[in-house]
Chain A
Amino acid sequence: GESVGLHLPTLSVQEGDNSIINCAYSNSASDYFIWYKQESGKGPQFIIDIRSNMDKRQGQRVTVLLNKTVKHLSLQIAATQPGDSAVYFCAENFSGYSTLTFGKGTMLLVSP
């Protein structure tokens, strides 16, 4: 099912710190997961994805970890920068169903 919240969780970090944003997904049948970054007033921007046959995937400064046992997804951002300040959404999808289900989002605030 969907998880939509009225209050965005917020993570505040200092520039240079590593950030970890967590997401609990709802459908145990989901086998494809994506992290999106959304800056204020803009559309979501693709960051990284992972399929269920993997438990870790790395990109540039970002790492996604997948724990299917507890239906948990995390996004790690190394050396966080002020430009990383945004709302981060995880999204899930399962084979045979063409749409994405978005999580409620986490606001990341990076202070210089």
Chain B
Amino acid sequence: GAVVSQHPSWVICKSGTSVKIECRSLDFQATTMFWYRQFPKQSLMLMATSNEGSKATYEQGVEKDKFLINHASLTLSTLTVTSAHPEDSSFYICSAREGIVLQETQYFGPGTRLLVL
């Protein structure tokens, strides 16, 4: 099956620093990638949708200047949390979709746990 990887799997940083998380589709080309955030004992909350070569579409309430998303190739999307603060500590999960058909299955990465001190 389709495999999506994320790097790093966990990161601890100081408040005010920026953190970059990578999401890669390993055996397929992802026309669309999604970034989610998940707090403990809660569901996945979609942050943004990124299509290769175009600007990401952010969900309401998600600051695009704080969560920078780049989808420069069909196999790589990055999420940069700029000037991270403790409230940004969360589990960040990406997913990737191969086809352009709207209901093509999304495959999820293993997640990145971010802890901001």
Contact A102–B108 (Cβ < 8 Å)? no
- Does B54 interact with chain A (Cβ within 8 Å)? no
Contact A4–B45 (Cβ < 8 Å)? yes
| Size of the chain B interface, CB-CB below 8 angstroms | 26
- Does A7 interact with chain B (Cβ within 8 Å)? yes
A interface: dominant SS: loop
Proximity bits, A75-109, B CB within 8 Å = 1, else 0:
00000000000000100010111111111110000
Stretch at the interface among B12-20, B62-70, B72-80, B109-117: B109-117
B residues with CB within 8 A of A: 1, 4, 6, 32, 34, 41-46, 49, 91, 93, 95, 97, 102-103, 105-111, 113
Residues of A contacting B1 with CB < 8 Å?
A: 46
| Size of the chain A interface, CB-CB below 8 angstroms | 31
Residues of A contacting B91 with CB < 8 Å?
A: 41
- Does A6 interact with chain B (Cβ within 8 Å)? yes
